[in-house]
Structure 1
Amino acid sequence: MHPLYRQRRGGVLLHPTSLPGPLPRGQICHDAYRFIDFLQQTGVTIWQMLPLGPTHTDGSPYLALSAHAGNPELISLDWLKDRKLLDNPAQVTDFVQHRQQLEQAWEQFNKRKPRALFAAYEAFVARQSHWLDDYSLFMSIRESQQHRSWTEWPAPLRDRQTAALQQSRTELAERIDFQCFCQFVVSQQWHDLKQYANAHDVKLLGDIPIYVSLDSADIWAQRGLFTLDAEGHPQQIAGVPPDYFSKTGQLWGNPLYRWDIMRQDNFLWWRQRMQTQLALFDVVRIDHFRGLRAFWAVPANAETAMEGHWVEAPGDELLEALHENFPELPLVAEDLGMITEDVHALRKKFGLPGMKILQFAFDGAPNNHYLPHQHEFESLVYTGTHDNDTTLSWYRQLDEKSRRYVREYLGLNADTTMPWPLIRSALASVSCLAVIPMQDFLELGSENRMNTPGTLEGNWQWRFDWEQLPADLTAKLHHLLHLYGRL
């Protein structure tokens, strides 16, 4: 196991976009540093978040425009002001104004070329060229094509014909440089934040979606690694069979990997992806880990995921290749859903902890492996995840029989209110890491959930405000972490 898992720790789940601030979503600004200060005061040493990539208009971090890039919307304008790239940044209230300020900073950067910062920029562009060249070109062409998906571009651009790409590089040179600048800034700001977090004994736990979005630089640049037809349309798409969240399964729509092709260079695409993420985070969760053992393949024209079937994947070979590059492989396996014994065996072979979700535990069966008495040290326990309702709302929506079972198991009386009994149960668990969504610490209801699987509206928008923190939360949480040996 990775050294991080060898002691008991407490964590919080909060995506940076949920931080307070003046824009519609949070950023790498003062509030992010204040949040780290709050974590240090409570004794929490794990800050878990969702993927950081640039999103489409739906805001989903699991369908990003790049598997490597950071989201420019996370950029703090104050950082640019401190480096004299913005004289007096206007008070922005939306991302159109934010983008305009980034454009002004880029112009100033080009004009002044501050020696140290410009040298760092050039080094970044050279070091990240294996993905940044394609990403910056992709985003610039996409902008010139009114943000349409690359499958709708003129065929020479869609198919990456040499002459068309060269012409675009010439005509869009300034826009390409601007995209590189944005990636440099978001990278610098994030690494400053990570350094601050680590100095305050807070480790960052990131998230890698197992699949990537069809409309992404990765698939446009390396179509041969994915199951696409001659025009770039998926032949099969990813999903999961019927589960806790949906009676007809979930139809994700991502193209599937050509694992046979990926084997030929010992999974170079995955090794480069992991290198990018491990530079951003101390630990990384692989979303839908079971897809590395077998994945649910659905015909591209299917109406529901029920039409899919299982196909074996070379997860053992992939993890061996990753382990060769990163001997202390700091991964967490998201092993939720229909998990077979061979998936558990793959996870355990590489010393990866799995996940235990307490909201899944109380179906009345004493052998339910999510119940605390079934937990193991090599695991992360959660009250719920970003896909679950808040614990308060979850409990309120249970029928009386289920609520009674929860109370009996946890030793509660009828007057006890959630979510703190479930938080206590997570912290008391034998699991090495206990991670609680920020909504549960704030005792919030259903209107504050982050995502409802299978829906397209109203997701990824939740934010908290500092005024929501109860006055006794810091002391209360510190006491519980001490009580359950997680300081």
Structure 2
Amino acid sequence: MRQIQHPIETRRRAGVLLHPTSLPGGSGSGDLGPAAFHFIDFMVDCGLSVWQVLPLGPTHEDRSPYQTTSVHAGAPELISLELLYRWGWLDAAPEADPVDPEANRFACLRQARAGFMRHARDADREALREFVDGHASWLPDFSCYQAIKDTRDGAAWLDWPGPLRDREPRALEQFRAEHREAIDQVVFEQFVFFRQWHDLRRYANERDILLFGDIPIFVAHDSADVWANREGFLLQEDGYPRVVAGVPPDYFSETGQRWGNPLYDWAQMAATGYSWWWERIHTQRDLFDLIRIDHFRGFEAYWEIPAAAETAIDGRWVEGPGAEFFEHMLARFGDLPLVAEDLGTIDAAVERLRDDFHLPGMKILQFAFGGGADNPYLPHNHVPLSLVYTGTHDNDTTLGWYASLDENAHEHLAAYLGPEATDMPWALNRAAIASVAHLSVIPLQDWLGLDGAHRMNQPGVREGNWQWRFEWDWIDAELPGRIRALLELYGRA
């Protein structure tokens, strides 16, 4: 089934991959404040027209945006305190707290809500009411979940008292009555997050910049989504998973990867017309112009691992919802501005599902060299309906990658790219921009020419990820012109 023209087909574009937490400024991390708007201005100067980010949800202690407490909510850490001060809801300009920036942020958010109650205009109060009404499908559950979690020192919902864990109506009613302020604070924070993001999106779209989001196919077990929708997941009576997600053993791992996410009860999802998923995609469409679906192959078939298994070896392939799922989404929305993350173990059935719904896939240049001419990631094998990257958030920076290559890969690069091959990362940047793919996205680290010390995530390593940030003085005054000239040369500016 072919949908209408995909958004990336309208013209050749180039973009940048940067999560907002990596922006300068903010309290403890980058946020949606002035630096985000300044970054859009920088993109305009460069001729870049797509800003790709990672999932925006509230994270757990490991800070991974791919294991969030909600598929709908925004991370309060991304709320700009500076903007709250400019709106008149904070009495004093926020000051950085190097000792405990997180505690300082949430103290300021509580002060901002008090300021809102005192000073907000009638239009602001009406906007809050409209926000609550417009997000009624998920906001009450998430705000209650987060308030319970906060009052229990961050404990996972499985460790809550039985009546709250199992959502007994009387227990929830009593909790809501006793903790109304805490719940209202969570609602207020979500209102602010969405308002700030929509302001940023409007600013970007007015400058012909598309915002590009990311949906992980699976969700964290400790999340409002699983707590409030247990019937949609393959769980035991006690709430623990019967089976969990992962990927099978491969060239990179003899034991595969055991991710631990609970798996969906797709039969139950189908019986409801995939309404849970429709609401999820609806929220993301409200935030983004393009949406990547992480681990797209899981819709065709996914690796099911017994929850008791310590590794992924004992898993098995189980058929996913396939075309029926996307037919439902296409019927509900009328179009699918989705991108298929089609990396890893991909077969003809996955490619057919992607192509039947006219979804672009991904080409990663760091995967292209060291093999034969039939490697699908080599530029001469690219197709227009695709996105080309030097690397993603899970890869080393291109400079770090190049330093780690063996002699065979270096020789392949030199033969393929010519004498310019040693000019990394710009040789690979140029190859991505020159590709026939409609959209080329390059991590900011590669635009800045940074080494492996600046990578965002190292899969399989538990600590030190998701913390990278840049500084404005790392951007040379000549960089925007250099990028723009490259984009103009290959018709992407």
Superposed CA offset, 1:47-101 (max 9, x none)? 0010000111110000000000001111111221122111113303311101101
Alignment of 1:324-335 (within 5 A): 324-335=331-342
Within 1, Cα distance between the matches of 2:250 and 2:473?
37
**How far off is 1:406 after superposition?**
1.1
Among 262, 268, 285, which residue is 2:269 paired with? Answer: 262
Within 1, Cα distance between the matches of 2:250 and 2:54?
22
Do the aligned partners of 1:244 and 1:337 also contact (CA within 8 Å) in 2? Answer: no
Residue number in structure 1 paired with 2:56: 52
Do the aligned partners of 1:241 and 1:305 also contact (CA within 8 Å) in 2? Answer: yes
Structure 2 length normalisation: TM-score?
A: 0.97
Q: Which moved more, 1:4-13 or 1:245-254?
A: 245-254
Residue type at the aligned position of 2:275: L
Q: Which moved more, 1:262-271 or 1:238-247?
A: 238-247
Residue number in structure 1 paired with 2:326: 319
Do the aligned partners of 2:383 and 2:436 also contact (CA within 8 Å) in 1? Answer: yes
Residue type at the aligned position of 1:191: H
Within 2, Cα distance between the matches of 1:397 and 1:83?
49
**How far off is 1:242 after superposition?**
2.8
Among 435, 441, 455, which residue is 2:461 paired with? Answer: 455
Residue number in structure 2 paired with 1:341: 348
Within 1, Cα distance between the matches of 2:307 and 2:323?
27
Do the aligned partners of 1:89 and 1:101 also contact (CA within 8 Å) in 2? Answer: no
* SS of residue matched to 2:138: helix
* SS of residue matched to 2:317: strand
Cα 1:247/1:9, change in 2 over 3 Å? farther
Within 2, Cα distance between the matches of 1:331 and 1:26?
26
Alignment of 1:27-42 (within 5 A): 27-42=31-46
Sequence identity, in percent?
52
Within 1, Cα distance between the matches of 2:9 and 2:253?
33
Do the aligned partners of 2:91 and 2:115 also contact (CA within 8 Å) in 1? Answer: no
Question: Which residues of structure 1 form unaligned runs of 5+?
Answer: none
Do the aligned partners of 1:2 and 1:330 also contact (CA within 8 Å) in 2? Answer: yes
User: Does 2:437 correspond to 1:434?
Assistant: no
Question: Which residues of structure 2 form unaligned runs of 5+?
Answer: none
Within 2, Cα distance between the matches of 1:388 and 1:124?
37
Superposed CA offset, 1:300-320 (max 9, x none)? 122222221110001211111
**How far off is 1:22 after superposition?**
4.2
Within 1, Cα distance between the matches of 2:460 and 2:282?
31
Residue number in structure 2 paired with 1:148: 155
Residue number in structure 2 paired with 1:126: 133
Among 392, 397, 407, which residue is 1:385 paired with? Answer: 392
Superposed CA offset, 1:18-66 (max 9, x none)? 1011432100011100000010111100000100001111100000000
* SS of residue matched to 1:205: strand
**How far off is 1:244 after superposition?**
5.7
Superposed CA offset, 1:349-377 (max 9, x none)? 11100000001111321101011010000
Residue number in structure 2 paired with 1:279: 286
* SS of residue matched to 1:167: helix
Cα 1:5/1:457, change in 2 over 3 Å? same
Among 15, 18, 30, which residue is 2:19 paired with? Answer: 15
Residue number in structure 1 paired with 2:475: 469
User: Does 2:92 correspond to 1:88?
Assistant: yes
Residue type at the aligned position of 2:441: V
User: Does 2:188 correspond to 1:181?
Assistant: yes
* SS of residue matched to 1:306: coil
Among 199, 219, 242, which residue is 1:235 paired with? Answer: 242
Residue type at the aligned position of 2:71: A
Among 307, 311, 317, which residue is 1:300 paired with? Answer: 307
Residue number in structure 2 paired with 1:351: 358
Do the aligned partners of 1:243 and 1:337 also contact (CA within 8 Å) in 2? Answer: no
Within 1, Cα distance between the matches of 2:456 and 2:314?
28
Within 2, Cα distance between the matches of 1:458 and 1:18?
14
Do the aligned partners of 1:383 and 1:435 also contact (CA within 8 Å) in 2? Answer: yes
Residue type at the aligned position of 2:332: N
* SS of residue matched to 1:253: strand
Residue number in structure 1 paired with 2:117: 110
**How far off is 1:328 after superposition?**
2.0
Residue type at the aligned position of 2:132: V
Root mean square deviation, CA, Å: 1.2
Within 2, Cα distance between the matches of 1:130 and 1:103?
25
Do the aligned partners of 1:80 and 1:105 also contact (CA within 8 Å) in 2? Answer: yes
Within 1, Cα distance between the matches of 2:136 and 2:24?
34
Cα 1:273/1:324, change in 2 over 3 Å? same
Residue type at the aligned position of 2:427: P
Q: Which moved more, 1:257-266 or 1:323-332?
A: 323-332
**How far off is 1:243 after superposition?**
4.0
Aligned length: 486
Within 2, Cα distance between the matches of 1:338 and 1:22?
39
Within 1, Cα distance between the matches of 2:153 and 2:123?
36
Within 1, Cα distance between the matches of 2:94 and 2:292?
37
Do the aligned partners of 2:445 and 2:454 also contact (CA within 8 Å) in 1? Answer: yes
Runs of 4+ residues over 4 Å off in structure 1 = none
Structure 1 length normalisation: TM-score?
A: 0.98
* SS of residue matched to 1:148: coil
**How far off is 1:113 after superposition?**
4.6
Within 2, Cα distance between the matches of 1:90 and 1:212?
34
Do the aligned partners of 1:451 and 1:460 also contact (CA within 8 Å) in 2? Answer: yes
Do the aligned partners of 2:249 and 2:313 also contact (CA within 8 Å) in 1? Answer: yes
Within 1, Cα distance between the matches of 2:258 and 2:414?
36
Within 2, Cα distance between the matches of 1:335 and 1:448?
25
Do the aligned partners of 2:82 and 2:94 also contact (CA within 8 Å) in 1? Answer: no
Among 63, 67, 72, which residue is 2:67 paired with? Answer: 63
**How far off is 1:417 after superposition?**
2.5
Superposed CA offset, 1:384-405 (max 9, x none)? 0000011111111011121111
Superposed CA offset, 1:333-357 (max 9, x none)? 0000010101111111111000000
Residue type at the aligned position of 1:38: F
**How far off is 1:144 after superposition?**
1.2
Among 172, 176, 180, which residue is 1:169 paired with? Answer: 176
